[in-house]
Structure 1
Protein backbone atom coordinates (compact mmCIF):
# COMPACT_ATOMS: atom_id res chain seq x y z
CA UNK A 1 0.00 0.00 0.00
CA UNK A 2 1.39 3.39 -0.97
CA UNK A 3 1.45 5.92 1.83
CA UNK A 4 0.68 8.94 -0.36
CA UNK A 5 -2.74 7.85 -1.75
CA UNK A 6 -3.74 6.48 1.66
CA UNK A 7 -2.88 9.77 3.36
CA UNK A 8 -4.68 11.76 0.67
CA UNK A 9 -7.80 9.64 1.11
CA UNK A 10 -7.83 9.39 4.91
CA UNK A 11 -6.47 12.79 5.98
CA UNK A 12 -9.77 14.68 5.52
CA UNK A 13 -11.53 12.14 7.77
CA UNK A 14 -8.97 12.61 10.54
CA UNK A 15 -9.17 16.39 10.21
CA UNK A 16 -12.85 16.18 11.11
CA UNK A 17 -12.03 14.07 14.17
CA UNK A 18 -9.24 16.29 15.52
CA UNK A 19 -11.47 19.10 16.96
CA UNK A 20 -13.61 16.61 18.88
CA UNK A 21 -10.51 14.72 20.02
CA UNK A 22 -8.85 17.92 21.28
CA UNK A 23 -12.03 18.96 23.07
CA UNK A 24 -12.24 15.61 24.90
CA UNK A 25 -8.55 15.67 25.83
CA UNK A 26 -8.40 19.30 27.00
CA UNK A 27 -11.78 19.70 28.71
CA UNK A 28 -12.49 16.16 29.93
CA UNK A 29 -9.49 13.85 30.18
CA UNK A 30 -6.95 16.43 31.37
CA UNK A 31 -9.11 17.72 34.28
CA UNK A 32 -9.92 14.16 35.36
CA UNK A 33 -6.30 13.00 35.42
CA UNK A 34 -5.08 16.25 36.96
CA UNK A 35 -7.69 15.92 39.71
CA UNK A 36 -6.56 12.35 40.42
CA UNK A 37 -2.93 13.51 40.42
CA UNK A 38 -3.42 16.30 42.99
CA UNK A 39 -5.47 13.97 45.21
CA UNK A 40 -2.14 12.28 46.05
CA UNK A 41 -0.43 15.60 46.83
CA UNK A 42 -0.67 18.26 49.51
CA UNK A 43 -2.14 21.23 47.60
CA UNK A 44 -3.53 24.24 49.46
CA UNK A 45 -3.88 27.95 48.74
CA UNK A 46 -0.41 28.48 50.20
CA UNK A 47 1.49 26.23 47.78
CA UNK A 48 -0.80 26.34 44.75
CA UNK A 49 1.89 28.00 42.62
CA UNK A 50 4.88 26.39 44.28
CA UNK A 51 6.24 22.92 44.93
CA UNK A 52 3.72 20.30 46.01
CA UNK A 53 4.75 17.32 48.07
CA UNK A 54 3.56 13.82 47.30
CA UNK A 55 1.77 12.32 50.30
CA UNK A 56 0.27 9.13 48.84
CA UNK A 57 -3.13 8.11 50.16
CA UNK A 58 -3.04 10.46 53.15
CA UNK A 59 -5.82 12.62 51.69
CA UNK A 60 -8.06 9.59 51.27
CA UNK A 61 -7.33 8.49 54.83
CA UNK A 62 -8.36 11.91 56.13
CA UNK A 63 -11.49 11.93 54.00
CA UNK A 64 -12.70 8.52 55.17
CA UNK A 65 -12.10 9.54 58.80
CA UNK A 66 -14.03 12.79 58.38
CA UNK A 67 -17.56 12.59 59.85
CA UNK A 68 -18.81 15.10 57.27
CA UNK A 69 -17.76 12.76 54.46
CA UNK A 70 -19.67 9.85 55.96
CA UNK A 71 -22.71 12.09 56.49
CA UNK A 72 -22.42 13.42 52.94
CA UNK A 73 -22.18 9.87 51.57
CA UNK A 74 -25.26 8.82 53.53
CA UNK A 75 -27.23 11.87 52.40
CA UNK A 76 -26.15 11.31 48.79
CA UNK A 77 -27.30 7.68 48.84
CA UNK A 78 -30.65 8.57 50.48
CA UNK A 79 -31.15 11.44 48.06
CA UNK A 80 -30.24 9.41 44.96
CA UNK A 81 -32.26 6.29 45.83
CA UNK A 82 -35.35 8.27 46.86
CA UNK A 83 -35.29 10.45 43.75
CA UNK A 84 -34.68 7.55 41.35
CA UNK A 85 -37.44 5.35 42.80
CA UNK A 86 -40.12 8.05 42.52
CA UNK A 87 -38.87 9.60 39.27
CA UNK A 88 -38.71 6.25 37.50
CA UNK A 89 -42.01 4.89 38.80
CA UNK A 90 -44.02 8.09 38.26
CA UNK A 91 -42.29 8.71 34.93
CA UNK A 92 -43.17 5.19 33.80
CA UNK A 93 -46.82 5.62 34.78
CA UNK A 94 -47.00 8.93 32.92
CA UNK A 95 -45.34 7.34 29.88
CA UNK A 96 -48.01 4.62 29.89
CA UNK A 97 -50.69 7.30 30.19
CA UNK A 98 -49.35 9.46 27.35
CA UNK A 99 -48.87 6.40 25.19
CA UNK A 100 -52.67 6.30 24.86
CA UNK A 101 -54.58 8.26 22.24
CA UNK A 102 -56.62 11.16 23.64
CA UNK A 103 -57.27 14.82 22.70
CA UNK A 104 -54.48 17.36 23.36
CA UNK A 105 -52.04 14.61 24.33
CA UNK A 106 -49.04 16.41 22.81
CA UNK A 107 -49.99 19.68 24.48
CA UNK A 108 -50.10 18.22 27.99
CA UNK A 109 -46.89 16.29 27.34
CA UNK A 110 -45.17 19.53 26.33
CA UNK A 111 -46.45 21.28 29.46
CA UNK A 112 -44.93 18.58 31.66
CA UNK A 113 -41.57 19.02 29.94
CA UNK A 114 -41.39 22.60 31.22
CA UNK A 115 -40.43 21.28 34.66
CA UNK A 116 -37.31 19.67 33.20
CA UNK A 117 -36.50 22.46 30.72
CA UNK A 118 -36.63 25.25 33.32
CA UNK A 119 -33.14 26.23 34.57
CA UNK A 120 -32.36 24.80 38.01
CA UNK A 121 -31.63 28.28 39.37
CA UNK A 122 -35.22 29.30 38.66
CA UNK A 123 -36.68 26.00 39.87
CA UNK A 124 -34.65 26.03 43.09
CA UNK A 125 -35.63 29.63 43.83
CA UNK A 126 -39.29 28.88 43.10
CA UNK A 127 -39.40 25.92 45.47
CA UNK A 128 -37.50 27.91 48.09
CA UNK A 129 -40.36 30.41 48.03
CA UNK A 130 -42.95 27.62 48.14
CA UNK A 131 -41.28 26.14 51.24
CA UNK A 132 -40.83 29.50 52.98
CA UNK A 133 -41.92 29.38 56.61
CA UNK A 134 -43.48 32.86 56.62
CA UNK A 135 -45.19 33.31 53.26
CA UNK A 136 -44.79 29.94 51.48
CA UNK A 137 -47.77 28.56 49.58
CA UNK A 138 -47.18 25.01 50.84
CA UNK A 139 -47.63 25.92 54.51
CA UNK A 140 -50.67 28.04 53.66
CA UNK A 141 -52.40 25.16 51.84
CA UNK A 142 -51.57 22.60 54.54
CA UNK A 143 -52.95 24.91 57.25
CA UNK A 144 -56.11 25.61 55.24
CA UNK A 145 -56.93 21.92 54.81
CA UNK A 146 -56.10 21.20 58.46
CA UNK A 147 -53.07 18.92 58.06
CA UNK A 148 -50.84 21.19 60.16
CA UNK A 149 -51.67 23.80 62.80
CA UNK A 150 -48.60 26.04 62.42
CA UNK A 151 -46.08 26.73 59.62
CA UNK A 152 -43.20 24.28 59.15
CA UNK A 153 -39.70 25.53 58.43
CA UNK A 154 -39.15 22.97 55.68
CA UNK A 155 -35.65 24.10 54.68
CA UNK A 156 -34.58 25.34 58.11
CA UNK A 157 -34.77 22.19 60.21
CA UNK A 158 -32.81 18.97 59.96
CA UNK A 159 -35.79 16.63 59.94
CA UNK A 160 -37.39 18.06 56.79
CA UNK A 161 -34.65 19.81 54.78
CA UNK A 162 -33.40 16.77 52.86
CA UNK A 163 -36.94 15.57 52.20
CA UNK A 164 -37.84 18.98 50.75
CA UNK A 165 -34.85 18.86 48.41
CA UNK A 166 -35.77 15.32 47.35
CA UNK A 167 -39.34 16.35 46.50
CA UNK A 168 -38.00 19.26 44.45
CA UNK A 169 -35.66 17.05 42.44
CA UNK A 170 -38.38 14.43 41.90
CA UNK A 171 -40.55 17.14 40.36
CA UNK A 172 -37.66 18.18 38.11
CA UNK A 173 -36.71 14.67 36.98
CA UNK A 174 -40.12 13.11 36.25
CA UNK A 175 -40.46 14.63 32.73
CA UNK A 176 -36.97 13.40 31.75
CA UNK A 177 -37.86 9.83 32.72
CA UNK A 178 -41.28 10.11 31.12
CA UNK A 179 -40.08 11.28 27.70
CA UNK A 180 -37.37 8.62 27.42
CA UNK A 181 -39.65 5.80 28.53
CA UNK A 182 -42.44 7.08 26.29
CA UNK A 183 -40.09 6.98 23.30
CA UNK A 184 -39.22 3.38 24.15
CA UNK A 185 -42.90 2.45 24.55
CA UNK A 186 -43.78 3.91 21.16
CA UNK A 187 -40.99 1.86 19.55
CA UNK A 188 -42.34 -1.47 20.82
CA UNK A 189 -43.64 -3.77 18.03
CA UNK A 190 -47.44 -3.69 17.80
CA UNK A 191 -47.72 -7.15 16.22
CA UNK A 192 -46.64 -8.78 19.50
CA UNK A 193 -49.58 -7.18 21.31
CA UNK A 194 -51.95 -8.15 18.52
CA UNK A 195 -50.81 -11.78 18.76
CA UNK A 196 -51.22 -11.72 22.54
CA UNK A 197 -54.72 -10.27 22.18
CA UNK A 198 -55.69 -13.02 19.74
CA UNK A 199 -54.41 -15.62 22.22
CA UNK A 200 -56.72 -14.14 24.85
CA UNK A 201 -54.18 -12.26 26.99
CA UNK A 202 -55.57 -9.46 29.14
CA UNK A 203 -54.05 -5.97 29.27
CA UNK A 204 -52.50 -6.73 32.66
CA UNK A 205 -50.95 -9.94 31.35
CA UNK A 206 -49.65 -8.12 28.26
CA UNK A 207 -48.09 -5.48 30.51
CA UNK A 208 -46.21 -7.93 32.74
CA UNK A 209 -45.35 -10.51 30.07
CA UNK A 210 -44.60 -8.22 27.10
CA UNK A 211 -44.21 -4.56 28.01
CA UNK A 212 -41.95 -4.91 31.06
CA UNK A 213 -39.52 -7.44 29.48
CA UNK A 214 -39.27 -5.43 26.25
CA UNK A 215 -38.77 -2.20 28.21
CA UNK A 216 -35.90 -3.60 30.30
CA UNK A 217 -33.03 -2.21 28.14
CA UNK A 218 -34.59 1.26 27.96
CA UNK A 219 -35.34 1.20 31.68
CA UNK A 220 -31.71 0.31 32.44
CA UNK A 221 -30.53 3.26 30.35
CA UNK A 222 -32.90 5.67 32.11
CA UNK A 223 -31.93 4.21 35.49
CA UNK A 224 -28.19 4.66 34.97
CA UNK A 225 -28.55 8.15 33.50
CA UNK A 226 -30.79 9.10 36.41
CA UNK A 227 -28.35 7.77 39.00
CA UNK A 228 -25.41 9.63 37.43
CA UNK A 229 -27.38 12.86 37.06
CA UNK A 230 -28.79 12.68 40.60
CA UNK A 231 -25.62 11.49 42.35
CA UNK A 232 -23.65 14.54 41.24
CA UNK A 233 -26.25 17.03 42.48
CA UNK A 234 -24.82 20.43 43.38
CA UNK A 235 -26.68 23.45 42.03
CA UNK A 236 -30.05 22.83 43.65
CA UNK A 237 -28.36 22.25 47.04
CA UNK A 238 -26.40 25.48 46.67
CA UNK A 239 -29.50 27.48 45.77
CA UNK A 240 -31.95 26.10 48.34
CA UNK A 241 -29.99 25.23 51.50
CA UNK A 242 -26.24 25.63 50.99
CA UNK A 243 -25.74 22.21 52.59
CA UNK A 244 -27.53 23.17 55.80
CA UNK A 245 -29.04 23.23 58.26
CA UNK A 246 -26.21 21.65 60.27
CA UNK A 247 -25.10 19.62 57.21
CA UNK A 248 -28.56 18.03 56.89
CA UNK A 249 -28.46 18.42 53.10
CA UNK A 250 -24.71 18.03 52.69
CA UNK A 251 -23.94 15.76 49.71
CA UNK A 252 -20.63 14.58 48.26
CA UNK A 253 -20.33 17.10 45.37
CA UNK A 254 -21.16 20.00 47.68
CA UNK A 255 -18.75 18.68 50.31
CA UNK A 256 -15.98 18.63 47.69
CA UNK A 257 -16.93 22.15 46.61
CA UNK A 258 -16.64 23.46 50.17
CA UNK A 259 -13.26 21.81 50.66
CA UNK A 260 -11.89 23.44 47.50
CA UNK A 261 -13.48 26.90 47.38
CA UNK A 262 -14.31 27.60 51.04
CA UNK A 263 -11.50 25.83 52.93
CA UNK A 264 -9.03 25.90 49.98
CA UNK A 265 -8.00 22.29 50.61
CA UNK A 266 -7.68 21.36 46.96
CA UNK A 267 -6.13 17.93 47.49
CA UNK A 268 -8.89 16.81 49.83
CA UNK A 269 -11.45 18.09 47.36
CA UNK A 270 -9.68 16.16 44.61
CA UNK A 271 -9.91 13.02 46.71
CA UNK A 272 -13.67 13.51 47.14
CA UNK A 273 -14.08 14.08 43.39
CA UNK A 274 -12.07 10.94 42.65
CA UNK A 275 -14.25 8.91 45.02
CA UNK A 276 -17.35 10.18 43.20
CA UNK A 277 -15.73 9.26 39.88
CA UNK A 278 -14.97 5.73 41.10
CA UNK A 279 -18.54 5.22 42.38
CA UNK A 280 -20.10 6.39 39.11
CA UNK A 281 -17.63 4.32 37.10
CA UNK A 282 -18.60 1.19 39.04
CA UNK A 283 -22.28 1.95 38.38
CA UNK A 284 -21.56 2.38 34.67
CA UNK A 285 -19.64 -0.92 34.55
CA UNK A 286 -22.55 -2.70 36.24
CA UNK A 287 -24.85 -1.21 33.60
CA UNK A 288 -22.59 -2.41 30.77
CA UNK A 289 -22.48 -5.88 32.30
CA UNK A 290 -26.28 -6.04 32.53
CA UNK A 291 -26.67 -4.80 28.95
CA UNK A 292 -24.23 -7.42 27.60
CA UNK A 293 -25.97 -10.09 29.65
CA UNK A 294 -29.31 -8.96 28.22
CA UNK A 295 -27.99 -9.02 24.65
CA UNK A 296 -26.49 -12.49 25.04
CA UNK A 297 -29.79 -14.01 26.18
Structure 2
Protein backbone atom coordinates (compact mmCIF):
# COMPACT_ATOMS: atom_id res chain seq x y z
CA UNK A 1 0.00 0.00 0.00
CA UNK A 2 1.31 3.43 -0.99
CA UNK A 3 2.07 5.75 1.88
CA UNK A 4 0.38 9.16 1.82
CA UNK A 5 3.78 10.80 2.26
CA UNK A 6 4.98 9.20 -0.94
CA UNK A 7 2.49 11.31 -2.91
CA UNK A 8 4.13 14.52 -1.67
CA UNK A 9 6.62 15.78 -4.18
CA UNK A 10 10.04 15.96 -2.73
CA UNK A 11 11.91 19.17 -3.40
CA UNK A 12 14.67 18.82 -5.86
CA UNK A 13 18.15 19.24 -4.53
CA UNK A 14 19.49 22.73 -5.23
CA UNK A 15 22.33 22.83 -7.69
CA UNK A 16 24.29 26.04 -8.16
CA UNK A 17 23.94 27.46 -11.60
CA UNK A 18 27.07 27.01 -13.57
CA UNK A 19 28.55 30.26 -14.75
CA UNK A 20 28.84 30.33 -18.47
CA UNK A 21 32.26 31.02 -19.92
CA UNK A 22 30.89 34.00 -21.82
CA UNK A 23 29.94 35.65 -18.51
CA UNK A 24 33.49 35.30 -17.25
CA UNK A 25 34.91 36.62 -20.51
CA UNK A 26 32.52 39.54 -20.40
CA UNK A 27 33.67 40.56 -16.94
CA UNK A 28 37.32 40.34 -17.88
CA UNK A 29 36.64 42.52 -20.91
CA UNK A 30 35.90 45.41 -18.55
CA UNK A 31 39.38 45.23 -16.96
CA UNK A 32 41.19 44.48 -20.20
CA UNK A 33 41.77 48.16 -21.14
CA UNK A 34 43.34 48.83 -17.74
CA UNK A 35 45.54 45.74 -18.00
CA UNK A 36 46.66 46.75 -21.50
CA UNK A 37 47.46 50.25 -20.27
CA UNK A 38 49.57 48.89 -17.41
CA UNK A 39 51.35 46.45 -19.70
CA UNK A 40 52.15 48.99 -22.41
CA UNK A 41 52.97 52.06 -20.34
CA UNK A 42 54.36 50.53 -17.12
CA UNK A 43 55.42 46.89 -17.30
CA UNK A 44 57.03 47.06 -20.73
CA UNK A 45 59.07 50.26 -20.04
CA UNK A 46 60.26 48.87 -16.71
CA UNK A 47 61.17 45.54 -18.29
CA UNK A 48 62.98 47.19 -21.19
CA UNK A 49 64.79 49.49 -18.76
CA UNK A 50 66.06 46.46 -16.82
CA UNK A 51 67.01 44.85 -20.12
CA UNK A 52 69.19 47.85 -20.99
CA UNK A 53 71.08 47.55 -17.71
CA UNK A 54 72.60 44.25 -18.87
CA UNK A 55 73.69 45.59 -22.26
CA UNK A 56 75.97 48.29 -23.59
CA UNK A 57 73.62 50.69 -25.40
CA UNK A 58 74.89 54.09 -26.55
CA UNK A 59 74.02 56.47 -29.33
CA UNK A 60 76.63 54.78 -31.54
CA UNK A 61 75.21 51.24 -31.42
CA UNK A 62 71.52 51.86 -30.75
CA UNK A 63 70.58 50.78 -34.27
CA UNK A 64 72.80 47.70 -34.21
CA UNK A 65 73.11 44.69 -31.90
CA UNK A 66 73.62 45.26 -28.20
CA UNK A 67 76.56 43.76 -26.40
CA UNK A 68 75.62 41.73 -23.32
CA UNK A 69 77.68 43.03 -20.40
CA UNK A 70 76.35 41.05 -17.43
CA UNK A 71 76.72 43.26 -14.30
CA UNK A 72 79.34 45.65 -15.66
CA UNK A 73 76.92 48.58 -15.75
CA UNK A 74 75.99 48.08 -12.10
CA UNK A 75 79.66 47.88 -11.15
CA UNK A 76 80.39 51.07 -13.06
CA UNK A 77 77.53 52.94 -11.45
CA UNK A 78 78.13 51.77 -7.88
CA UNK A 79 81.82 52.73 -8.08
CA UNK A 80 81.20 56.09 -9.73
CA UNK A 81 82.02 58.99 -7.39
CA UNK A 82 79.47 61.26 -9.05
CA UNK A 83 76.74 58.66 -8.56
CA UNK A 84 77.66 58.26 -4.90
CA UNK A 85 77.52 62.05 -4.57
CA UNK A 86 74.08 62.05 -6.19
CA UNK A 87 72.88 59.40 -3.73
CA UNK A 88 74.07 61.56 -0.83
CA UNK A 89 72.42 64.63 -2.33
CA UNK A 90 69.16 62.74 -2.86
CA UNK A 91 69.11 61.58 0.76
CA UNK A 92 69.81 65.10 2.07
CA UNK A 93 67.28 66.61 -0.34
CA UNK A 94 64.53 64.14 0.56
CA UNK A 95 65.14 64.22 4.33
CA UNK A 96 65.19 68.00 4.71
CA UNK A 97 62.25 68.52 2.37
CA UNK A 98 60.08 65.98 4.18
CA UNK A 99 61.04 67.30 7.60
CA UNK A 100 60.22 70.95 6.95
CA UNK A 101 57.21 70.20 4.76
CA UNK A 102 55.73 68.06 7.51
CA UNK A 103 56.45 70.45 10.39
CA UNK A 104 55.19 73.55 8.57
CA UNK A 105 52.28 71.66 7.01
CA UNK A 106 51.20 70.30 10.41
CA UNK A 107 51.41 73.76 11.97
CA UNK A 108 49.25 75.21 9.19
CA UNK A 109 46.81 72.29 9.44
CA UNK A 110 46.38 72.89 13.19
CA UNK A 111 45.86 76.58 12.49
CA UNK A 112 43.27 76.08 9.74
CA UNK A 113 41.49 73.43 11.79
CA UNK A 114 40.13 76.28 13.90
CA UNK A 115 37.17 78.39 12.85
CA UNK A 116 37.89 82.04 12.05
CA UNK A 117 36.78 84.55 9.38
CA UNK A 118 38.51 84.14 6.02
CA UNK A 119 39.78 80.63 6.72
CA UNK A 120 38.67 79.28 3.33
CA UNK A 121 40.25 82.19 1.44
CA UNK A 122 43.64 81.89 3.13
CA UNK A 123 43.63 78.12 2.67
CA UNK A 124 42.91 78.55 -1.04
CA UNK A 125 45.73 81.08 -1.36
CA UNK A 126 48.18 78.65 0.21
CA UNK A 127 47.17 75.99 -2.32
CA UNK A 128 48.44 78.29 -5.09
CA UNK A 129 51.98 77.13 -4.35
CA UNK A 130 51.01 73.57 -5.22
CA UNK A 131 48.97 74.53 -8.29
CA UNK A 132 51.61 76.67 -10.02
CA UNK A 133 53.60 74.71 -12.65
CA UNK A 134 57.03 73.66 -11.45
CA UNK A 135 58.72 75.44 -14.36
CA UNK A 136 57.32 78.77 -13.15
CA UNK A 137 58.15 78.01 -9.51
CA UNK A 138 61.73 77.05 -10.34
CA UNK A 139 62.22 80.19 -12.43
CA UNK A 140 60.80 82.42 -9.67
CA UNK A 141 63.11 80.95 -7.04
CA UNK A 142 66.05 81.20 -9.41
CA UNK A 143 65.40 84.94 -9.71
CA UNK A 144 64.84 85.28 -5.96
CA UNK A 145 68.21 83.63 -5.26
CA UNK A 146 70.03 85.61 -7.96
CA UNK A 147 73.38 86.99 -6.86
CA UNK A 148 73.15 90.77 -7.31
CA UNK A 149 69.49 91.38 -8.12
CA UNK A 150 67.69 88.69 -6.12
CA UNK A 151 65.21 89.73 -3.46
CA UNK A 152 66.77 87.31 -0.93
CA UNK A 153 70.14 89.07 -1.08
CA UNK A 154 68.42 92.46 -1.13
CA UNK A 155 66.61 91.66 2.13
CA UNK A 156 69.71 90.18 3.80
CA UNK A 157 71.81 93.21 2.83
CA UNK A 158 69.09 95.57 4.05
CA UNK A 159 68.96 93.72 7.39
CA UNK A 160 72.79 93.79 7.66
CA UNK A 161 72.88 90.00 7.91
CA UNK A 162 75.39 89.71 5.07
CA UNK A 163 77.94 92.23 3.78
CA UNK A 164 78.04 91.19 0.13
CA UNK A 165 75.66 89.27 -2.18
CA UNK A 166 75.72 85.49 -2.07
CA UNK A 167 75.44 83.62 -5.36
CA UNK A 168 73.10 80.98 -4.01
CA UNK A 169 72.47 78.79 -7.06
CA UNK A 170 76.04 78.96 -8.37
CA UNK A 171 77.80 78.41 -5.04
CA UNK A 172 78.91 74.87 -4.29
CA UNK A 173 77.96 75.22 -0.62
CA UNK A 174 74.45 76.66 -1.11
CA UNK A 175 73.17 75.37 -4.48
CA UNK A 176 71.54 72.21 -3.11
CA UNK A 177 69.92 74.05 -0.20
CA UNK A 178 68.46 76.63 -2.58
CA UNK A 179 66.61 73.88 -4.42
CA UNK A 180 65.55 72.36 -1.09
CA UNK A 181 63.93 75.66 -0.03
CA UNK A 182 62.08 75.85 -3.35
CA UNK A 183 60.80 72.28 -3.06
CA UNK A 184 59.75 72.82 0.57
CA UNK A 185 57.60 75.74 -0.56
CA UNK A 186 56.00 73.55 -3.21
CA UNK A 187 55.23 70.63 -0.88
CA UNK A 188 53.81 72.51 2.13
CA UNK A 189 50.23 72.83 0.73
CA UNK A 190 50.02 69.10 -0.03
CA UNK A 191 51.09 68.20 3.51
CA UNK A 192 48.69 70.77 4.95
CA UNK A 193 45.70 69.42 3.02
CA UNK A 194 46.35 65.77 3.95
CA UNK A 195 46.98 66.57 7.61
CA UNK A 196 43.98 68.90 7.79
CA UNK A 197 41.76 66.13 6.43
CA UNK A 198 43.16 63.79 9.08
CA UNK A 199 42.57 66.32 11.86
CA UNK A 200 38.97 66.94 10.81
CA UNK A 201 38.25 63.21 10.92
CA UNK A 202 39.33 62.85 14.57
CA UNK A 203 36.53 62.36 17.14
CA UNK A 204 35.84 65.44 19.26
CA UNK A 205 34.53 63.61 22.34
CA UNK A 206 38.06 62.44 23.21
CA UNK A 207 39.26 66.05 23.41
CA UNK A 208 36.25 67.01 25.53
CA UNK A 209 37.07 64.20 27.96
CA UNK A 210 40.73 65.30 28.03
CA UNK A 211 39.74 68.89 28.81
CA UNK A 212 37.51 67.68 31.63
CA UNK A 213 40.47 65.75 33.04
CA UNK A 214 42.56 68.91 32.91
CA UNK A 215 44.91 67.94 30.07
CA UNK A 216 46.81 70.86 28.56
CA UNK A 217 46.96 71.65 24.83
CA UNK A 218 50.42 70.13 24.52
CA UNK A 219 49.31 67.02 26.40
CA UNK A 220 46.33 66.62 24.07
CA UNK A 221 48.55 67.06 21.05
CA UNK A 222 51.13 64.43 21.99
CA UNK A 223 48.77 61.97 23.72
CA UNK A 224 45.74 62.19 21.41
CA UNK A 225 46.38 64.00 18.12
CA UNK A 226 49.66 62.40 17.05
CA UNK A 227 48.68 58.80 17.94
CA UNK A 228 45.35 59.12 16.12
CA UNK A 229 47.06 60.70 13.11
CA UNK A 230 49.53 57.84 12.82
CA UNK A 231 47.87 56.15 9.77
CA UNK A 232 47.70 59.50 7.98
CA UNK A 233 51.33 60.21 8.85
CA UNK A 234 52.48 56.87 7.43
CA UNK A 235 50.71 57.50 4.14
CA UNK A 236 52.01 61.06 3.96
CA UNK A 237 55.61 60.04 4.61
CA UNK A 238 55.39 57.25 2.06
CA UNK A 239 54.00 59.49 -0.65
CA UNK A 240 56.47 62.22 0.27
CA UNK A 241 59.47 59.91 -0.08
CA UNK A 242 58.33 58.63 -3.48
CA UNK A 243 57.51 62.09 -4.80
CA UNK A 244 60.55 63.93 -3.39
CA UNK A 245 63.08 61.24 -4.25
CA UNK A 246 62.29 61.58 -7.94
CA UNK A 247 62.29 65.39 -8.12
CA UNK A 248 63.99 66.44 -11.34
CA UNK A 249 62.54 69.63 -12.81
CA UNK A 250 63.44 71.98 -9.94
CA UNK A 251 67.08 70.87 -10.16
CA UNK A 252 67.11 71.24 -13.94
CA UNK A 253 65.66 74.76 -13.88
CA UNK A 254 67.54 76.23 -10.93
CA UNK A 255 71.04 74.71 -10.92
CA UNK A 256 71.28 72.07 -13.69
CA UNK A 257 73.01 69.83 -11.16
CA UNK A 258 75.90 72.21 -10.60
CA UNK A 259 78.22 73.58 -9.67
CA UNK A 260 80.60 70.62 -9.74
CA UNK A 261 77.70 68.17 -9.17
CA UNK A 262 76.97 69.85 -5.83
CA UNK A 263 73.20 69.73 -6.46
CA UNK A 264 73.05 66.64 -8.67
CA UNK A 265 70.46 64.15 -7.45
CA UNK A 266 69.87 60.65 -8.80
CA UNK A 267 67.06 61.48 -11.27
CA UNK A 268 69.06 64.33 -12.78
CA UNK A 269 72.21 62.22 -13.05
CA UNK A 270 70.23 59.52 -14.85
CA UNK A 271 68.87 62.16 -17.24
CA UNK A 272 72.35 63.54 -17.82
CA UNK A 273 73.81 60.12 -18.61
CA UNK A 274 70.95 59.06 -20.90
CA UNK A 275 70.05 62.25 -22.77
CA UNK A 276 73.17 64.41 -22.60
CA UNK A 277 75.98 61.84 -22.69
CA UNK A 278 73.74 59.39 -24.63
CA UNK A 279 74.86 56.47 -22.49
CA UNK A 280 71.47 54.83 -22.27
CA UNK A 281 72.61 51.77 -20.34
CA UNK A 282 74.14 53.79 -17.50
CA UNK A 283 71.04 55.99 -17.31
CA UNK A 284 68.82 52.91 -17.18
CA UNK A 285 71.00 51.39 -14.47
CA UNK A 286 70.69 54.49 -12.29
CA UNK A 287 66.91 54.52 -12.61
CA UNK A 288 66.79 50.80 -11.82
CA UNK A 289 68.77 51.40 -8.63
CA UNK A 290 66.30 54.17 -7.77
CA UNK A 291 63.40 51.80 -8.36
CA UNK A 292 64.98 49.17 -6.12
CA UNK A 293 65.45 51.71 -3.31
CA UNK A 294 61.84 52.87 -3.55
CA UNK A 295 60.62 49.26 -3.53
CA UNK A 296 62.57 48.66 -0.32
CA UNK A 297 60.99 51.75 1.23
CA UNK A 298 57.54 50.56 0.13
CA UNK A 299 58.08 47.13 1.66
CA UNK A 300 59.16 48.70 4.95
CA UNK A 301 56.02 50.84 4.91
CA UNK A 302 53.79 47.82 4.23
CA UNK A 303 55.42 45.89 7.04
CA UNK A 304 54.89 48.74 9.51
CA UNK A 305 51.30 49.21 8.35
CA UNK A 306 50.60 45.49 8.78
CA UNK A 307 51.95 45.55 12.33
CA UNK A 308 49.76 48.56 13.09
CA UNK A 309 46.67 46.74 11.82
CA UNK A 310 47.47 43.66 13.87
CA UNK A 311 48.07 45.70 17.03
Distance, in Å, in 1 between the alignment partners of 2:20 and 2:281 is 47
1:120 matched to 2:122? The reply is: no
Q: Deviation digits for residues 241-271 of structure 1, max 9, x if unmatched? A: 1101111111101101111011111111111
Q: Deviation digits for residues 165-205 of structure 1, max 9, x if unmatched? A: 11111111111111001101101111222222233322222
What is aligned with 1:262?
A: 276
Distance, in Å, in 1 between the alignment partners of 2:234 and 2:207 is 22
Distance, in Å, in 1 between the alignment partners of 2:121 and 2:212 is 34
1:46 matched to 2:60? The reply is: yes
Distance, in Å, in 1 between the alignment partners of 2:206 and 2:21 is 50
Q: Deviation digits for residues 11-70 of structure 1, max 9, x if unmatched? A: 443222111111111111111111011101111112212211211110010011111001
Q: Deviation digits for residues 115-171 of structure 1, max 9, x if unmatched? A: 011100000001111111121111111111111111110111101111111111111
Distance, in Å, in 1 between the alignment partners of 2:84 and 2:25 is 52
Distance, in Å, in 2 between the alignment partners of 1:6 and 1:241 is 62
Distance, in Å, in 2 between the alignment partners of 1:120 and 1:7 is 50
What is aligned with 1:98?
A: 112
1:152 matched to 2:133? The reply is: no
Distance, in Å, in 1 between the alignment partners of 2:199 and 2:33 is 36
Distance, in Å, in 1 between the alignment partners of 2:156 and 2:95 is 27
Please report the TM-score for the alignment, with normalisation by the length of structure 1: 0.96
What is aligned with 2:41?
A: 27
Structure 2: gaps of 5 or more residues: 1-15
Q: Which moved more, 1:112-121 or 1:13-22?
A: 13-22
Provide the alpha-carbon RMSD of the alignment.
Answer: 1.3
After TM superposition, the structure 1 = structure 2 runs for residues 6-21 of structure 1, keeping only pairs within 5 Å, are 6-21=20-35
1:8 to partner: Cα distance: 4.2
After TM superposition, the structure 1 = structure 2 runs for residues 1-297 of structure 1, keeping only pairs within 5 Å, are 6-297=20-311
Please report the TM-score for the alignment, with normalisation by the length of structure 2: 0.92
Distance, in Å, in 2 between the alignment partners of 1:198 and 1:113 is 36
1:7 to partner: Cα distance: 3.7
Q: Aligned to 1:56, what secondary structure does the other structure show?
A: coil
Distance, in Å, in 2 between the alignment partners of 1:149 and 1:296 is 58
User: Runs in 1 of length 4+ with deviation above 6 angstroms?
Assistant: none
Q: Aligned to 1:31, what secondary structure does the other structure show?
A: helix
Distance, in Å, in 2 between the alignment partners of 1:198 and 1:295 is 30
Distance, in Å, in 2 between the alignment partners of 1:107 and 1:19 is 41
Structure 1: gaps of 5 or more residues: none
Distance, in Å, in 1 between the alignment partners of 2:123 and 2:197 is 12
**Which structure has greater helix proportion?**
1
Q: Aligned to 2:54, what secondary structure does the other structure show?
A: coil
